Chains A and B, each alone.
Chain A
């Protein structure tokens, strides 16, 4: 099992460019999450999904869109990147059938917006 993988690992964008971050999990988890991590601010939830075809807003959804067309994939899109979106992005997944909703995190994507 690869667990949770994220693509790409690192990316540099210019202001106004668009990109998609891909998260894939092979654990058959229903729930998936996108977080951003900035120094001194911990992890902030961007969007999450409780199942294929469903998405919901987290704490900081503005400027991002997501899609969950397949259960194993959760895509995070930036339509027009801004310097304020420079951050480390983590994807996570969890299993609905457990009482303990352990979140399994991917290795992260470092994004720099110039």
Chain B
């Protein structure tokens, strides 16, 4: 079955440093979503990418969808303590299906 891996599993950064998490799927994705989960909380939707090679920005966050639609990345510029949490990617393998497969997640800790 489809597998979605994320690297790294954990990342500790000093406040102000940049951070990147990578998402790799074993199969082509019709779209990809990113979620953030604060410690003890529930996942919260950040963004959805649909087109091959698409890049979207949200303030300090930059999201990219790979040309082959099998990988994606999330880059945070100048991290802040509010960025702490686990970041998940998720995608359905087939267009029109809503069976989202989530990645393993990257837990980010920001040291003040």
Contact = CB atoms under 8 A, between A and B. Distances in A.
A48 B48 contact: no
Interface string A77-114: 00000000000001010100001111111111000000
Nearest to B49: A100
A84 B105 CA distance: 21
B14 to A, nearest CB: 25
A101 B43 contact: no
B96 to A, nearest CB: 11
A102 B45 CA distance: 6
Interface stretch (A19-27, A35-43, A68-76): A35-43
B44 A42 contact: no
A68 to B, nearest CB: 14
A108 B42 contact: yes
B45 A42 contact: no
Contact of B45 (A99, A103, A107, A108): A103
Interface of A: 31, 33, 35, 40-45, 48, 50, 56, 58-59, 90, 92, 94, 99-108
Interface of B: 1, 4, 6, 9, 31, 33, 35, 41-45, 48, 50, 88, 90, 98-105
Given A33-B98, A42-B88, A45-B101, 14 more contacts: A31-B98, A42-B4, A42-B105, A43-B43, A43-B90, A44-B102, A45-B99, A48-B98, A94-B98, A102-B45, A102-B48, A104-B45, A105-B42, A105-B44
